[in-house]
Structure 1
Amino acid sequence: MSHARKEYVDFEKLAPDVFAAVRSLGQFAAKAGLDKQLIELVKLRASQINGCAFCVQYHILLGESLGVPVDKLNLVVVWREAPQFSARERAALAWTEALTTLPNGVSDDVYAQATAEFSEVELTYLTSAVASINVWNRFGAAYRWTPPARKTTAADAAAS
């Protein structure tokens, strides 16, 4: 069983300037008008690829709070085989995978798919979101941050 080497809250205390810079980078895409649900799918997919348990759980919970359908959250790991994803989401997820696994590069097909669905400005901000989550993943995976707990509501308790 793995154990946390440091926790997420420790990162903010140890390097508040780095924490603020990475957080800020991650907020630009939403501020630019990209759909927040789409951004969460992208961040979830990159986190799955990078093996960051904290970030996977964090973005599942955040996605749920933003109304991302549960089937999309469950199936983002196999998005190519799942019919729930729109062409725009598929382009964003392909872009995310290409940028997250850079040794493979960004193919002309993935670039064409992305530019068919996103304007130049949108694609730049989408890239900033992918860059940001990849930075967070490096910290979360390296320090083995403990995944956040699901907050139980009264409705959850009554349902169980």
Structure 2
Amino acid sequence: MSGGDPERPCIDKVQPLTHAAMIEAAKSSRAASKEAGLDVGLIELVNTRVSQINGCVTCLSVHAPAARDAGVDPLKIDLLPAWRDADLYTDVERAALELAEALTNPRELDLRAAIADASDVMSTEALAALEWAIVLINAFNRVSIASAHPPRRRR
């Protein structure tokens, strides 16, 4: 039960109940994001950025295409690593990306400032939903990295 590396167990297959709980948490998070008025494209943009930071090829192969499918401008996806220097992102996208980076690397970036900036452009409900989405994509990244999951090809 290995992913791309026979030496590493596919932890989602070895412990399927834990993985199923993660899937349920992700479904709940998506519902909360929708209820809070967060655009699917924004969540996919954040998922893509977090997956870039973590170097998760599996999640990148899923979320970059999902962002395109959700209507995110392909240039925004292409420029994600340099989003701070590109003027094409909205204030909400910038706040979400800043928060995504700060939650992914809390020792390197100012999480309090990121939360304050996000609070300026979104409701408490939207902020909480976004934070859950970021926490969960980080968890899924780590499952895929630990299991050496390969990139997924689109059908």
Shorter-chain TM-score bucket reads 0.7 to 0.9
1:63 partner letter: A
C-alpha root-mean-square deviation of aligned residues, in Å? 1.9
Preserved contact between residue 27 and residue 129 of structure 1 (Cα < 8 Å)? no
Distance apart, 1:111 and its partner CA: 2.2
CA deviation vs aligned residue, 1:113-149 (integer Å, no higher than 9, x gap): 1100121111111110000000011111122211011
CA deviation vs aligned residue, 1:90-125 (integer Å, no higher than 9, x gap): 000000000000223534432221100121111111
Q: Secondary structure at the match of 1:147?
A: coil
Match of 2:73 among 65, 69, 72: 69
Distance apart, 1:23 and its partner CA: 1.8
Match of 1:50 among 33, 47, 54: 54
2:75 partner letter: D
Q: Secondary structure at the match of 1:61?
A: helix
Match of 1:139 among 140, 143, 146: 143
Whole-Å separation in 2 of the counterparts to 1:69 and 1:145: 27
Q: Secondary structure at the match of 1:21?
A: helix
How many residue pairs are counted as aligned between the two chains?
A: 146
What TM-score results when the alignment is normalised by the length of structure 1? 0.82
Distance apart, 1:12 and its partner CA: 4.5
Alignment correspondent of 1:81 = 85
Preserved contact between residue 118 and residue 127 of structure 2 (Cα < 8 Å)? yes
Alignment correspondent of 1:148 = 152
Whole-Å separation in 2 of the counterparts to 1:12 and 1:107: 30
What TM-score results when the alignment is normalised by the length of structure 2? 0.85
Structure 2: 5+ residue runs without aligned partners? none
Between the two proteins, what is the percent identity of the paired residues?
34
- Runs of 4+ with >2 A deviation: 10-16, 24-30, 104-109
CA deviation vs aligned residue, 1:62-113 (integer Å, no higher than 9, x gap): 1122222211111112111112210000000000000000223534432221
Whole-Å separation in 2 of the counterparts to 1:17 and 1:57: 24
Whole-Å separation in 1 of the counterparts to 2:5 and 2:137: 20
